[in-house]
Structure 1
Amino acid sequence: MPSYVDGFVIPVPKANLAVYKRVATKASKVWKDHGALAYFECVGDDLETKDMTPFTKLAKTKEDEVVIFSWAVFKSRKDRDKANKAIMSDPRMAGMMENCKDIFNAKRMAYGGFKVIVEA
């Protein structure tokens, strides 16, 4: 049973969404090759909320941007740490990391590792 998740929230210009999707599709293969049990990249669709903080506000998106909500699932933090080390040294990532500069501003990306506390 998986017990660890890496999560990402990324504001991406709408004009770059198709390119982002192509890069994310390639990245998903790298994550899976290095131990991710599952990998998801989602684009905001219903983000207007009442009485809560919408992702658009959280990500400080501009009018021409969308919110990407992504996560990768691992068996454990140890497996995640091992995978991330391998992912970052994987030669397939070098080109993708360079392309990211043109697709979105990585300094505005939120990232964190999470212990699973409920799985249903």
Structure 2
Amino acid sequence: MNYVDGFAIPVKLSDKQAFIDHARHMDAIMIEEGALRIVECWADDVSEGKQTDFYRAVDRQDGETVCFSWIEWPDKATRDAAFGRMMQNEEMTNTPMPFDGKRMIFGGFVPVVLLEKGNG
């Protein structure tokens, strides 16, 4: 099975197009580095919970929403090598992010169940 990085990111509503443009540019670099698939999602049907929710996870401020994203890699070794190279890439490290990276939630995950239509 592949390796997955997941992200929840606070983004100002007014920065939606900047987020999309940034994602397209940076995601292309990650694809060149070996990522198999990248999905960037803008909140559409995200409810506010009573104890926890996506908004609380990123400490959403007025005028912000939450974006949910993931990157699929062939394996953790490919991901680790790519991240090492990307941290040396000035374009990756010096390009301003259209969101508050300090409130981004992220982590790497090992898939334990994978179901796809026609692959059950």
- What TM-score do the two structures reach when normalised by structure 2? 0.86
Say what the alpha-carbon RMSD is for the aligned residues: 1.8
The question of whether the paired residues in 2 share the 8 Å contact of 1:56 and 1:67 is answered with: yes
The question of whether the paired residues in 2 share the 8 Å contact of 1:30 and 1:92 is answered with: no
Which structure 1 residue ranges, 4+ long, deviate > 6 Å from structure 2? none
Higher helix share: 1
Alpha-carbon offset, residue 50 of structure 1: 5.9
Q: Which amino acid aligns with 1:20?
A: F
Gaps of 5+ in 1: none
Q: Which amino acid aligns with 2:80?
A: D
The question of whether the paired residues in 2 share the 8 Å contact of 1:3 and 1:115 is answered with: yes
Q: Deviations over 1:48-101 (max 9, x none)?
A: 1667732112222123001011111011111110111122223432442xx11x
Structure 1 residue aligned with 2:54 = 55
Matched residue SS, 1:88: helix
The question of whether the paired residues in 2 share the 8 Å contact of 1:10 and 1:59 is answered with: yes
Q: Which amino acid aligns with 1:60?
A: D
Q: Following the alignment from structure 1 to structure 2, what is the Cα–Cα distance between the partners of residues 46 and 64?
A: 16
Q: Which amino acid aligns with 2:114?
A: E
Q: Which amino acid aligns with 1:105?
A: D
Q: Which amino acid aligns with 1:37?
A: L
Q: Following the alignment from structure 2 to structure 1, what is the Cα–Cα distance between the partners of residues 38 and 87?
A: 16
Structure 2 residue aligned with 1:110 = 105
Q: Deviations over 1:10-60 (max 9, x none)?
A: 101111111111011001100100000001111111001667732112222
Matched, 1:72 2:76: no
The question of whether the paired residues in 2 share the 8 Å contact of 1:7 and 1:114 is answered with: yes
The question of whether the paired residues in 1 share the 8 Å contact of 2:3 and 2:109 is answered with: yes
- What TM-score do the two structures reach when normalised by structure 1? 0.86
Gaps of 5+ in 2: 116-120
